[in-house]
Amino acid sequence: MPNTAPLLKLASANRDLSLAAKSTPVELKTAATPLSDRDILKYERKLLKFWIQSFLLGVPKIIVGFRSKDGILQSLEELETEKIPRMVKLKGKGSWDGNVCINFTAKFLDWEMTGLTTTITEDGGVWRIRMRNQARVIEVFKVAESGYGDILSKEFIEWRSRPSPQ
């Protein structure tokens, strides 16, 4: 199989795909087609995950494939990452606010990382930051002594380790 890395970069994390062609990344996602108010709220919460992941990675566009209960693709929606919070606020149920999310994360990281950065840097390994639903506690714990915590596949790591053709 020829190496097409200069033309197309394809990486997979869980079921999410990030597609980058000519250095313009696009996040590809799937969601069940919303059929009820409950489904719309569920999709809106999914949008939070889509938005924060793409926002933090600098991915400007997300393409969502809506599927039936049988997994059949029914439609596509193209979203601009930066416009998702406003879309949720104006057209959705308003279940989350992008500014609140970013401000909370910044304050948490500023507070938490002052001492933790040294620990993580010195100890290495894979760490997880988690806040469970309805919990008032944020947990920070080590999940592996080394590696990538099963986030990246062996094939992806090997592909990224190869020198890029000039």
Q: Which residue has the higher pLDDT, 165 or 157?
A: 157
pLDDT at 134: 82
> Whose CA is closest to 16, among 3, 31, 33?
31
pLDDT at 112: 64
Determine the 3-state secondary structure of 153 from DSSP: coil
Pairwise CA distance, residues 158 & 6, whole Å: 15
Pairwise CA distance, residues 150 & 34, whole Å: 31
Q: Exposed, middle or buried by CB within 10 Å (0-12, 13-18, 19+), for 62? A: buried
For residues 106 and 71, is the Cβ–Cβ distance under 8 A? Answer: no
pLDDT at 36: 93
Q: Please compute the mean of the pLDDT values over residues 1-26 and round it to a whole number.
A: 44
Residue 47 has pLDDT above 60, yes or no: yes
pLDDT at 50: 95
Give 99-137 pLDDT, tens digit per residue: 998 888 888 777 766 666 666 666 677 878 888 888 888
